[in-house]
Chains A and B, each alone.
Chain A
Amino acid sequence: MAKMNMVQAIQFALDQEMARDESVVVLGEDVGVDGGVFRATEGLHEKYGPARVMDTPLAESGIAGTSIGMALAGMKPVAEMQFSGFSYLIVHQMEGHASRFRARSLGEWSVPMVVRMPYGGGVRALEHHSESREALYGHLPGLKVVIPSGPRNARALLVASIRDPDPVIFMEPKRSYRAFREEVPDEEEVLEIGKAEIVQQGEDLTLVAWGAMMRPTLQAAEAVRERRGTKIEVIDLLTIKPLDGDAVADSVKKTGRCVIVQEAPRTMSVASELIAILNERSFLYLEAPVKRVANYDVVTPYFGREMMYMPSAERIERAIDETLDY
């Protein structure tokens, strides 16, 4: 058991999986000698050599497309996108091929690959380095989309993603990379993809978030508890697709009230989808409209103004109060 930050936990998962299975390879821009711009692949090049830790040419579609080829030949590529903002070139290969091989061949072929990408704001970075576009990948049938929120679940979910038989988009909240440390067990730990986690039990309101939004969300829940004594059930989605709608709907059947927090723009988002699910499965239990605390439908502003747009603990707190007082 060692205390690790999220980047270290990701490196730990990659290292253990590469040691366990030699079909696992890592590829991407600067992932080799340099160890990745966030150091998530540090030491792997030295340990496993350039054939397994590949510094590729600078071409995202190329990285995704060649990973598909490797996966078709029985390898397990773990590709890194330097930033999710540069990943849109791979949508073509992921939607056009990775997501479809299993269905188009009725199971004869499959593409077990992982695309890791740091996403989200809050690190004072240049344009294209702050977006939260999980809904875009989540919209594509055949892909799985996973978002950890802390070091321990990042490690266990990355291991699950590498062992998964399907293409997985693994989105890493870069704001949380070095924000805090957790104990990560040395022994194997694998979380199930497609399962949300109830991180805090409660009866008065369901609060849902994922990724970097978990920390302000938990802060807000704690503040409301201190102030009003409210027992809030907090759910960490962990998987965006396939979405664990039942976990949220079952919780709302108990609490009758729900607030969803996301970094992403509001319209056609994961929050929108959750509200649709609640409408279908727990409509008669609702005592207040489900509230979204989201970013706005604007082009993500430069980092000078970025945090004004991002849901803050205070904004989440106000949404909780409004939902409780409805």
Chain B
Amino acid sequence: MPIKEIETFGVSYLQILDETGKVDTSLEPALDDAELIRLYRGMMHAREGDQRMLKLQRQGRIGTFGPCTGQEASVCGPTLAMTDRDWFVGAFRELGGRLMRGDSFTDYLLFHNGYEEGSTLAAERRTLPFSIIVGSQCLHAAGLGYAMKYKGEKDAAVVTFFGDGATSEGDFHEAMNFAAVWQAPVVFVCQNNQWAISIPRENQTRSETLAQKAIAYGMPGVQVDGNDALATYAATREALDRAYSGGGPTLIEAVTYRMMMHTTADDPTKYRSDDEVDGWRARDPLTRFRTYLEGKGIWNDDLQAGLETELKAEINAAVEAFEARTEFKPDVAFDYVYGTSHPEIDRQRAEFLDELKKEKPNG
């Protein structure tokens, strides 16, 4: 018996807006001016927010956080494609998307300064709190997708974000498999930012692309220029439409770059070169999108200056609101261990409050 080929596979790459801001009009999505500006604003908001948080962190006014600079298009493009009916299941590097979904920057700061008050995001808004354990949220997305299908919510799907490192985790693979078996309406968006703290993408997996991991699970997978907001939008739009119509899950690999540190607790100069970082500077997602908007005649220097002023004011107000909040109920952890009361928890709460009273004012 001769050996015969029984199946062949391929992986597509999508770029609509190149590094210089030139658009491929044959692929250009039909977005109106307001939507385009909303997308740009989301990315700018994230960039400005990141810069401000870095300063706050260095001044000791907030705790550690994972900056998103350079990756704005990988999150904001997909978010633009989502409606309020869709679920946003993120990790911890999706500031732009969260802001576009209506989360407050004040909450973002509270969360990053160690207060649960910053992750009380209203359940009906369908944006899940931060998920720190790499890749673990992918399974929640698959379960939510199943729930949407079970409840017959045909206008609702789930978009989950994770990084290149997460594709090594079992939960990622289990989630892809469950979602595909169930044909659940889930869009898996991998922000491939090339680095999982100090581990480069090529040491994470021998796969040529991360998008090809979809093939093994029997779902479409596509690689997109993750710094091209039109491409990330268009790929998500297509994936969501497929999900709504019962076509099941999709994997999108957004090829991007983490321009800053993994979190403010690490120093990337230890493991990667400045040349590499500079090479990616030329592919900045914001610069090319601004060029695109200007080319369409809907953006100019005045509008840019106006937006920057507006965002700075908004961020300042959020920082002020965050810093004005100084009263935090100390025993709140006892309120939410369970949804039912229990004498053991009550006993320990009383003990805790009693101990607090005995503490000296400045420790």
A binds B: yes
Interface residues of A (CB under 8 A from B): 25, 51, 56-57, 59, 61-62, 64-75, 77, 89, 92-93, 96-97, 101-110, 112, 141-142, 144, 164-166, 193-194, 242-243, 245-246
Q: Which residues of B contact A142 (CB under 8 A)?
A: 337-338
Min Cβ gap B112→A in Å is 14
Q: Mark B124-159, 1 if CB is under 8 A from A, else 0.
A: 000011010100101111111111101100000010
Min Cβ gap B221→A in Å is 19
Of the candidates A70, A73, A96, A144, the one whose C-beta lies within 8 Å of that of B338 is A144
Q: Does B264 contact A (CB under 8 A)?
A: no
Q: Write 18 A-B pairs (CB below 8 A) sorted by A numbering.
A: A57-B178, A59-B174, A59-B178, A61-B171, A64-B139, A65-B143, A69-B146, A72-B143, A72-B144, A73-B87, A74-B147, A92-B136, A93-B136, A101-B129, A105-B116, A107-B336, A141-B337, A194-B342
Of the candidates A73, A106, A243, the one whose C-beta lies within 8 Å of that of B143 is A73
Given contacts A97-B133, A243-B344, 11 further A-B contacts (CB under 8 A): A57-B178, A66-B142, A93-B171, A96-B136, A103-B333, A104-B119, A105-B119, A106-B335, A109-B129, A164-B339, A242-B345
Q: Mark B189-231, 1 if CB is under 8 A from A, else 0.
A: 0000000000000000000000000000000000000000000
Q: Which residues of A contact B122 (CB under 8 A)?
A: 108
Residue of A nearest to B344 (CB): A242
Min Cβ gap B216→A in Å is 13
Asked if residues A105 and B147 are in contact (CB atoms below 8 Å), the reply is: no
Q: Does B120 contact A (CB under 8 A)?
A: yes
CA distance A66 to B144 in the complex (A): 7
Residue of B nearest to A69 (CB): B143
Q: Does B37 contact A (CB under 8 A)?
A: no
CA distance A61 to B138 in the complex (A): 11
Restricting to B84-117, which residues have a CB under 8 Å from any CB of A? 87, 116-117
Residue of A nearest to B111 (CB): A104
Min Cβ gap A108→B in Å is 5
Number of A-B contacts (CB under 8 A): 148
Q: Does B234 contact A (CB under 8 A)?
A: no
CA distance A293 to B5 in the complex (A): 64
Asked if residues B143 and A25 are in contact (CB atoms below 8 Å), the reply is: no
Of the candidates A59, A72, A108, A242, the one whose C-beta lies within 8 Å of that of B342 is A242
Q: Does B71 contact A (CB under 8 A)?
A: no
CA distance A69 to B258 in the complex (A): 29
Lowest 3 CB-CB distances: which A-B pairs, in order?
A: A69-B143, A65-B139, A165-B339
Q: Does B121 contact A (CB under 8 A)?
A: yes
Q: Mark B294-334, 1 if CB is under 8 A from A, else 0.
A: 00000000000000000000000000000000000000110
Of the candidates A71, A103, A193, the one whose C-beta lies within 8 Å of that of B337 is A103
Asked if residues B147 and A57 are in contact (CB atoms below 8 Å), the reply is: no
Asked if residues A75 and B147 are in contact (CB atoms below 8 Å), the reply is: yes
Asked if residues B178 and A56 are in contact (CB atoms below 8 Å), the reply is: yes
With A61-B171, A61-B174, A106-B332 already in contact, the answer to whether A69 and B141 are too (CB < 8 A) is yes
With A62-B139, A69-B142 already in contact, the answer to whether A75 and B150 are too (CB < 8 A) is yes
Asked if residues A106 and B340 are in contact (CB atoms below 8 Å), the reply is: no
Of the candidates A57, A61, A73, the one whose C-beta lies within 8 Å of that of B181 is A57
| Residue of B123, B133, B143, B177 with highest tally of chain A CB at under 10 A | B143
Residue of B nearest to A74 (CB): B147
Q: Which residues of A contact B144 (CB under 8 A)?
A: 69-70, 72-73
Q: Does B361 contact A (CB under 8 A)?
A: no
Asked if residues B147 and A106 are in contact (CB atoms below 8 Å), the reply is: no
Asked if residues B119 and A59 are in contact (CB atoms below 8 Å), the reply is: no
Asked if residues B335 and A107 are in contact (CB atoms below 8 Å), the reply is: yes
Q: Does B343 contact A (CB under 8 A)?
A: yes
Min Cβ gap A122→B in Å is 31
Residue of A nearest to B177 (CB): A57
CA distance A109 to B87 in the complex (A): 14
Min Cβ gap A129→B in Å is 23
With A65-B175, A68-B139, A69-B141 already in contact, the answer to whether A102 and B151 are too (CB < 8 A) is no
Q: Which residues of B contact A245 (CB under 8 A)?
A: 344
Asked if residues A164 and B340 are in contact (CB atoms below 8 Å), the reply is: yes
Asked if residues B338 and A242 are in contact (CB atoms below 8 Å), the reply is: yes
Of the candidates B116, B119, B139, B342, the one whose C-beta lies within 8 Å of that of A93 is B139
Asked if residues B146 and A66 are in contact (CB atoms below 8 Å), the reply is: yes
Asked if residues A92 and B133 are in contact (CB atoms below 8 Å), the reply is: yes
Q: Which residues of B contact A166 (CB under 8 A)?
A: 338-340
With A73-B144, A245-B344 already in contact, the answer to whether A65 and B131 are too (CB < 8 A) is no
Q: Which residues of B contact A193 (CB under 8 A)?
A: 340
With A57-B178, A75-B150, A105-B116 already in contact, the answer to whether A69 and B145 are too (CB < 8 A) is yes
Of the candidates A62, A109, A141, A246, the one whose C-beta lies within 8 Å of that of B175 is A62
Q: Does B246 contact A (CB under 8 A)?
A: no
